[in-house]
Amino acid sequence: MIQIPMLSKNDKAVRTQITLTDQLKYHVEQMASQRGESLSEYLRKAAIIRLLLEKQEQEDLKKLANRVVGSIKINNHPNWNSKEEIYRWSRKIRSQW
Q: What is the pLDDT of residue 54?
A: 95
Question: Quick one: pLDDT band at residue 80, thresholds 50, 70, 90?
Answer: confident
Residue 68 has pLDDT above 70, yes or no: yes
Enter the DSSP assignment of 54. H
Computed over every residue of the chain, the mean pLDDT equals 89
Query: Is pLDDT of 5 > 80?
Result: no
What gap in Å lies between CA 96 and CA 28, rounded to an integer?
44
Burial 68-94 (b: 16+ CB within 10 A, else e): eeeeeeeeeeeeeeeeeeeeeeeeeee
Q: What is the mean pLDDT of residues 61-81?
A: 86
pLDDT tens, residue by residue, 40-66: 999 999 999 999 999 999 999 999 998
